[in-house]
């Protein structure tokens, strides 16, 4: 079947549907779709909603584990943390909206991820953000950074949810496609968790929250399903957020769930009523009727298709049994939350859209959700590096001392205090370890009756994935796990956000396939299930794609937050040791970036050895044997030691000889290295258990300077100079 006439061709192509997809829609309907139906199909079959280029890959990830309460397919994943409590968490992208309007794009990214968490009945307690921008010598990148950080702070601070951690990177490939990935975690009694499947023929469909407007029509779903064209004015597609409206909505929904008044609950995110209603119907194997004339509108004259696809914020959809409707409406009135019956659950297995009782759209639920075409990627490994080398900013004859200062002052390594001080990191009184104070954030469970604590971290390194997609993605999992180990936490589950370019291009398809393979292998070796996540594709423009950037967020549990050591050296005279099978790789490193090099290929990982090292570090932290712990990451061992000195206000004397050149030893990067300090007796005891995974005593804490001898390389820098370089870099660049 072919579409009839040029007008039909234009309609579906303008909405992002291919000719073959349009033919399939006609086949499933038995006719051509009308305006409402075409709009709904175009969004449900978009990349952002349908995952048509990634769903097959995502099925290869491990999703089961002893702690898993909810896995992929729900608004958020959840894991058991004991004492009858569950922690829900998820990460999602709001990349293209943030590139168009960074304040509202980032703010509504936070709002959306909060709703994902309380949609399953968990109270949001913390957020984290993973951000990527172009280099800071670009006026555009400075603007995007400033406004995105302001948007995150505005929404999180206003709604009263702590922002406890995150990361910010600056690379030229993100100049035109910044990445704004937001993660949220929440806590709930296990029995309060609720699924989104609609159930009960004759039950009411109730819309909660804000009025529906034209802001956000086709926002996340359309902007995230095609390459970003800066020549088009897409600003009206960016949603507008209201954190105070969401706060009322959050509290109202949690009370409704506490009272057992809801049969199911669903967030209205990408594709608005179209996706929320059809996905609820699909999961419940029922049908849904919606009368758009009953939807409260922000502006007059909206067409039925506009109401169905609007992505206006701060809205939830719930299913309510008739005997409980009055109680639901009364509770909403108490919270000053708008509640409107807009439809009902049917046994038709169809999504019917009515306008004042007249049917204006009639679609099989199965066609909308289950029949979205899934495509096999056509990968091809590129024969050369597809990304240009970074612009060199470091002299060829720079000394080790100059290199360390340059690395500490580079935006990727430097202190992000400028950003995180704009966030409230302690609201809610759970924060034990806040943003910037260590490798992972730590939050108490006690306010909800639990013992112990949870730790959370978010990590990714697009440059290293660009150098080697498989190993770089596996390293992101290891980095997150080592961050948790440094506070004594055992991983319970992982969420991911896969940020890539156009998957229809063979080299991008290869990157995506290899990265997912690396994520899966690392998760299986560490025994960490993937409980949910998000995919953001088509992140590229006229200058090419972003670095392939899988971002992973990990949640773990620890028994005693009082024993969590700091990352800074704590006592004069303590011994310093390096634990783990640490490899020193310069390709993809921060040093090579400053030198104008990128490279290809990373050292092969021994995942089993890293898993053993994680257990040893975790046990050492929990035992209270060590005074400090900090993993080796961006900038290599020298930067890790410098950060330990800066955080503790103490110097150190280190000798580290491992048969490699000075740059590799000092500045080479790779997963698996953890710098710890403690008494000589404690570390000697630790050495007997850690020898098989790598253990070396490398120096002592003391003095006012960091002195390092590594191979033939030597450097000696006062701690005050290290601190100045590290702390002043971002403020000076942004002033």
Active-site amino acid positions = 48, 94
Contact 127, 183 (CB under 8 A): yes
Q: What is the 3-state secondary structure (H, E, C) of 605-668?
A: CCHHHHHHHHHHHHHHHHHCCCCEEEECCCCHHHHHHHHHHHHHCCCEEEECCCCCCHHHHHHC
Cross-strand pairs, 699: 576, 654
DSSP state of 203: P
634 vs 459: CA distance, rounded Å? 11
Structure tokens at 597: 């090099």
Residue whose structure tokens are 């050149």: 661
User: What is the greatest pairwise CA distance in the chain?
Assistant: 83
DSSP state of 668: -
How many H-runs (helices) and E-runs (strands) does the chain carry? 25, 28
377 vs 420: CA distance, rounded Å? 39
First to last CA, the chain: 60
669 vs 662: CA distance, rounded Å? 13
Cross-strand pairs, 497: 534, 551
687 vs 710: CA distance, rounded Å? 21
Strands 705-710 and 652-655: parallel
Closest CA to 539 of 174, 19, 149: 174
78 vs 121: CA distance, rounded Å? 10
- To 5 degrees, how large is the angle CA 634–CA 554–CA 128? 75
Q: 663 Cβ partners below 8 Å, 6+ apart?
A: 400, 403, 586, 591, 713
Gyration radius from the chain CA atoms? 26
Residue whose structure tokens are 């929440």: 186
DSSP string covering 707-721, please? EEEETTEEEEEEHHH
Torsion of CA 238, 218, 316, 535, to 10 degrees: -90
Cross-strand pairs, 709: 655, 714
Residue whose structure tokens are 């970036």: 593
| Phi/psi at 264 (5° precision) | -160, 160
Structure tokens at 29: 């309907």
101 vs 98: CA distance, rounded Å? 5
DSSP state of 399: -
Q: What is the 3-state secondary structure (H, E, C) of 411-476?
A: CCCCCCHHHHCCCCCCCCCCEEECCCCCCCEEEECHHHCCCCEEEEEEECCHHHHHHCHHHHHHHH
Q: 301 Cβ partners below 8 Å, 6+ apart?
A: none
Structure tokens at 482: 């080592």
Full strand arrangement of the beta sheet holding 339-346: 264-267, 315-320, 204-209, 339-346, 287-291, 350-355, 358-364
Contact 274, 203 (CB under 8 A): no
């Amino acid at each position: 079947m072919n579409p009839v006439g040029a007008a039909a061709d234009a309609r579906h192509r303008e909405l992002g549907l291919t000719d073959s997809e349009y033919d399939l829609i006609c086949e499933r309907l038995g006719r051509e779709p009308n305006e409402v139906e075409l709009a709904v199909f175009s969004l449900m079959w978009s990349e952002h909603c349908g995952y048509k280029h990634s769903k097959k890959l995502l099925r290869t990830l491990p999703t089961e584990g002893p702690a898993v309460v909810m896995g992929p397919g729900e608004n958020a994943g959840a894991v058991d943390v004991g004492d009858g409590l569950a922690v829900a968490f998820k990460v999602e992208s709001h990349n293209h909206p943030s590139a168009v309007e960074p304040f509202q794009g980032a703010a509504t990214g936070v709002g959306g991820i909060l709703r994902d968490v309380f949609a399953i009945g968990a109270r949001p307690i913390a957020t984290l953000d993973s951000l990527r921008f172009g280099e800071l010598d670009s006026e555009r990148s400075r603007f995007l950074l400033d406004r995105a950080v302001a948007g995150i702070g505005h929404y999180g601070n206003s709604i009263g949810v702590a922002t406890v951690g995150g990361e910010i990177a600056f690379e030229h490939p993100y100049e035109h496609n910044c990445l704004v990935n937001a993660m949220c975690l929440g806590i709930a009694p296990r029995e309060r968790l609720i699924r989104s499947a609609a159930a009960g023929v004759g039950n009411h469909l109730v819309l909660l929250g804000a009025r529906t407007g034209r802001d956000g029509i086709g926002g996340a779903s359309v902007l995230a399903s095609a390459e970003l064209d800066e020549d088009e004015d897409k600003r009206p597609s960016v949603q507008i957020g209201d954190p105070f409206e969401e706060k009322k909505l959050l509290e109202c929904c949690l009370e409704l769930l506490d009272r057992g008044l809801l049969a199911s609950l669903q967030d209205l995110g990408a594709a608005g009523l179209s996706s929320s209603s059809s996905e609820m119907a699909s999961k419940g194997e029922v049908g849904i009727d919606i009368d758009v004339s009953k939807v409260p509108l922000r502006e007059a004259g909206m067409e039925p298709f506009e109401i169905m696809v609007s992505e206006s914020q701060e809205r939830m959809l719930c299913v309510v049994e008739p005997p409980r409707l009055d109680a639901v409406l009364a509770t909403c009135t108490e919270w000053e939350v708008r509640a409107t019956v807009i439809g009902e659950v049917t046994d038709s297995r169809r999504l019917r859209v009515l306008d004042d009782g007249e049917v204006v759209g009639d679609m099989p639920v199965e066609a909308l959700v289950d029949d979205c075409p899934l495509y096999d990627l056509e990968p091809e490994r590129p024969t050369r590096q597809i990304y240009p080398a970074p612009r060199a900013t470091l002299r060829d004859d720079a000394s080790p001392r100059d290199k360390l200062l340059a690395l500490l002052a580079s935006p990727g390594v430097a202190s992000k205090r400028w950003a995180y001080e704009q966030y409230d990191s302690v609201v809610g009184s759970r924060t034990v370890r806040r943003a910037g104070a260590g490798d992972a954030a730590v939050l108490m469970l006690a306010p909800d009756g639990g013992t112990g604590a949870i730790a959370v971290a978010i990590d990714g390194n697009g440059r290293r994935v660009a150098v080697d997609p498989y190993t770089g993605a596996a390293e992101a999992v290891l980095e997150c796990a080592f961050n948790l180990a440094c506070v004594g936490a055992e991983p319970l589950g992982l969420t991911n956000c896969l940020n890539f370019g156009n998957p229809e291009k063979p080299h991008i398809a290869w990157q995506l396939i290899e990265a997912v393979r690396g994520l899966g292998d690392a998760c299986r070796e560490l025994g960490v299930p993937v409980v949910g996540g998000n995919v953001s594709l088509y992140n590229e423009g006229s200058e090419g794609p972003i670095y392939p950037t899988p971002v992973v967020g990990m949640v773990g549990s620890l028994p005693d937050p009082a024993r969590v050591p700091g990352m800074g050296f704590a006592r004069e005279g303590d011994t310093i040791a390096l634990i783990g099978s640490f490899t020193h790789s310069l390709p993809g490193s921060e040093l090579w970036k400053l030198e104008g090099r990128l490279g290809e290929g990373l050292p092969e990982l021994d995942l089993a050895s890293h898993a053993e090292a994680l257990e040893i570090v975790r046990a050492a932290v929990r035992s209270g044997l060590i005074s400090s712990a900090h993993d080796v990451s961006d900038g290599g061992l020298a930067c890790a030691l410098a950060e330990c000195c800066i955080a503790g206000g103490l110097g150190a004397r280190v000798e580290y000889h491992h048969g490699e050149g000075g740059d590799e030893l000092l500045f080479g990067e790779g997963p698996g290295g953890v710098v710890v300090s403690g008494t000589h007796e404690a570390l000697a005891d630790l050495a007997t258990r850690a020898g098989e995974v790598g253990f070396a005593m490398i120096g002592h804490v003391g003095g006012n300077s960091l002195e390092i001898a590594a191979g033939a390389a030597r450097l000696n820098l006062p701690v005050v100079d290290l601190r100045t370089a590290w702390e002043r870099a971002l403020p000076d660049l942004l002033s």
